[in-house]
């Protein structure tokens, strides 16, 4: 089966890393079309996956954009859609991996007659999307032969927004287990290099964005003991530099300059997680899945996560981690203190979480699930020709 994958981003976020794993299974029989250039292209090329940059300018529509902004983007989208239509005729199906890819892929599918598969990495709620974009996403997704949701939370929100329950199936993100069983020496070196000896280190791993809640952790940190420090891995995307400045001002206002480190984007995420005493997830609205949560579990590092969305499917509070109310600073600070003061319990919970994550999120098993779904749709495609 030859697949044309489409993705809007040139940067390797969670959706892109998931796409990389799927495309690896179809290497030699697929092309990944990106709507902008960046490090994700390089990552695909390093893994011998064919990739092509389909647009020279970022599409100027966001999840909260109005219908007017959408209309203004039509002129920009037209040549991109034409290019995808032409390319898609060389492939058996179009696989849209992101929202903007869905818009382009759905229209191209209609013109070229190639079936559409959509990978839903978002919770289609009004907390994340404007009503216009929510309705558009659902309408276009309902044209797909298959919608792959990354969690039950994403599937439920899709159906509640009007999505077809017959076409949507849940497939969690998968992970290369071997990667998380290495790098322990590197983790020790990182801790020395960053001068974090004798500290209780909290790690926060995500892009810097208001809904990811880095400000919540900073506020909670101000209520923790002096030897508790925070390391933030990630940077701003999608025009959110103002939030970075807000975080820097908050650090100064709270007097945390000696207890907070911003590392920006890093490729050594696994040893950085292994270096931490605790990984904290602080999204203020429901997370569609939560790759960071699973990665920390696989690293054997205790996890505190915001109690909403996909996190509820990943963490059993008190058994494989801790869940706290999104945005509740004092509840988060109390959970951090509990982990710090009960290290034996935290280690036992982290070990249980690691075993559970290894059982549930093995990439080989996840890839089999994806392959089965795609093959079943391919049979429908063949029988309909």
pLDDT of residue 184: 78
What does the pLDDT read at residue 377? 66
Instruction: Indicate if 215 and 298 belong to the same structural domain.
Output: yes
| pLDDT at res. 76 | 72
pLDDT at residue 380, rounded to an integer: 60
| 276 shares a domain with 152 | no
* Torsion region of 5: left, alpha or beta (phi above 0 gives left; psi -120 to 50 gives alpha): beta
Domain co-membership, 250 together with 317 = yes
**Chain segment 311-331, per-residue pLDDT in tens:** 999 999 999 999 999 999 999
Range list of β-strands (E), 295-382 = 303-306, 322-324
Q: Which token pair is 315?
A: 């963490």
Residues 348 and 368 in one domain: no
pTM for the structure as a whole? 0.90
Encode pLDDT of 329-343 as tens digits.
999 999 999 999 999
- The low-confidence residues of the chain, meaning pLDDT below 70, are 57-75, 183, 238, 377-385
Looking at the structure, tell me whether residues 211 and 236 fall in a common domain: yes
Q: Which of 179, 187, 180, 128 is nearest to 158 (CA)?
A: 128
Identify which of 104, 88, 83, 107 has the alpha carbon closest to the alpha carbon of residue 3: 88
Residues 18 and 108 in one domain: yes
**Predicted pLDDT at 359:** 97
pLDDT score of 56 = 74
The per-residue pLDDT for 57 is 65
Q: How far apart are the first and last CA of the chain?
A: 15
Domain of 96, in residue numbers:
3-174+362-384
Same-domain check for residues 187 and 264: yes
> How far is the C-alpha of 147 from the C-alpha of 161, rounded, in Å?
14
CATH code, 74:
3.40.50.2000
119 and 213 fall within a common domain: no
Distance CA 21, CA 1 (A): 16
Is 118 within 8 Å of 7 (Cβ atoms)?
A: no
* Residues 136, 12 share a domain: yes
State whether 204 and 115 are in the same domain. no
Same domain, 203 and 333: yes
Count of structural domains within the chain: 2
217 and 123 in a common domain: no
Kindly write down the DSSP assignment for every residue of 70-119, as one continuous string.
Answer: HHHTHHHHHHHHHHHHHHHTTSSEEEE-SHHHHHHHHHHHHHH---EEEE
Quote the pLDDT of residue 65: 45
The confidence score (pLDDT) of residue 240 equals 85
């Amino acid at each position: 089966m030859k697949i044309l994958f489409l993705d809007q981003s040139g940067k390797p976020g969670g959706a892109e890393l998931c796409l990389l794993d799927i495309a690896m299974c179809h290497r030699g029989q697929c092309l990944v079309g990106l709507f902008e250039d960046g490090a994700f292209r390089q990552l695909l090329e390093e893994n011998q996956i064919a990739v092509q940059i389909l647009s020279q300018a970022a599409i100027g529509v966001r999840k909260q954009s109005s219908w007017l902004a959408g209309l203004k983007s039509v002129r920009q989208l037209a040549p991109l859609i034409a290019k995808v239509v032409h390319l898609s005729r060389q492939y058996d199906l179009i696989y849209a991996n992101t929202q903007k890819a869905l818009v382009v892929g759905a229209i191209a599918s209609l013109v070229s007659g190639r079936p559409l598969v959509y990978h839903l990495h978002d919770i289609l709620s009004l907390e994340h999307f404007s009503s216009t974009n929510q309705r558009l996403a659902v309408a276009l997704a309902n044209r797909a032969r298959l919608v792959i949701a990354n969690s039950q939370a994403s599937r439920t929100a899709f159906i509640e927004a009007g999505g077809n329950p017959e076409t949507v199936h849940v497939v969690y993100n998968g992970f290369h287990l071997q990667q998380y069983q290495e790098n322990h020496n590197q983790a020790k070196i990182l801790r020395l290099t960053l001068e974090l000896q004798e500290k209780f280190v909290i790690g926060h791993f995500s892009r810097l964005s208001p809904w990811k809640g880095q400000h919540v952790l900073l506020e909670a940190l101000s209520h923790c003991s002096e030897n508790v420090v925070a390391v933030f891995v990630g940077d701003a995307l999608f025009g959110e530099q103002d939030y970075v400045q807000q975080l820097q001002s908050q650090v100064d206002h709270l007097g945390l300059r000696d207890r907070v480190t911003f590392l920006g984007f890093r490729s050594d995420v696994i040893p950085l997680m292994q270096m931490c005493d605790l990984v904290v997830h602080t999204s203020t609205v429901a997370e569609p899945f939560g790759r960071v949560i699973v990665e920390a579990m696989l690293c054997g590092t205790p996890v505190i996560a915001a109690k909403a969305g996909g996190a509820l499917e990943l963490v059993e509070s008190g058994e494989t981690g801790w869940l706290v109310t999104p945005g509740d600073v004092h509840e988060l600070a109390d959970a951090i203190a509990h982990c710090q003061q009960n290290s034996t319990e935290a280690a036992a919970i982290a070990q249980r979480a690691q075993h559970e994550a290894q059982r549930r999120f093995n990439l080989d098993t996840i890839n089999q699930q994806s392959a089965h779904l795609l093959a079943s749709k391919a049979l429908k495609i063949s029988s309909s020709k």
